[in-house]
Amino acid sequence: FIVFIAFIALLIAFRIFQLIVFKISALFSNQQTFFKDLFNGASLYTRTLGIFLLPLVFLITYSTGIINIIFIYLSIFVIFIMLILRLISMFRAFILGGFSIFYFILYLCALEIVPLLIIMKEVKSR
């Protein structure tokens, strides 16, 4: 139960960090509507991923054998597809917003890839 609470606290802290970075970026670039749309788009894909993964998590929990492994791979596939769709949507938002591709790459490095690498490092160390 403590691990669950710690994981939820980590996710909430990550969301708050993203919101703060989006707000600061909007303030400095004077592009409030762009960053609001970008944050809402990212939240939409995250919530949709949660809706798709909820039944799969229950099926993984209550199944055994080869079916369990199939559901795990299906979950990984759903996560992969949603990340690709999210990246395409964000790329489109950056291009339509008039930003350079380099700003998109900087955004990916700062707010998408680095936090995932940190989480992956922590998971592997445990």
State pLDDT tens for residues 77-109: 998 898 888 888 888 888 888 888 888 888 888
Q: Where are the alpha helices (DSSP H) in the chain?
A: 2-29, 32-62, 66-96, 101-107, 114-125
| Residue 98 CA from chain centroid, whole number | 23
Q: What is the pLDDT of residue 22?
A: 79
pLDDT band at 74 (very low <50, low <70, confident <90, very high): very high
Q: What is the pLDDT of residue 77?
A: 92
Query: Residue type for 125, please?
Result: S
State pLDDT tens for residues 14-72: 888 878 887 887 788 777 788 788 878 888 888 888 899 999 988 888 888 889 889 99
Flag whether pLDDT at 123 surpasses 80. Answer: no
Q: 124: which 2 tokens?
A: 């592997």
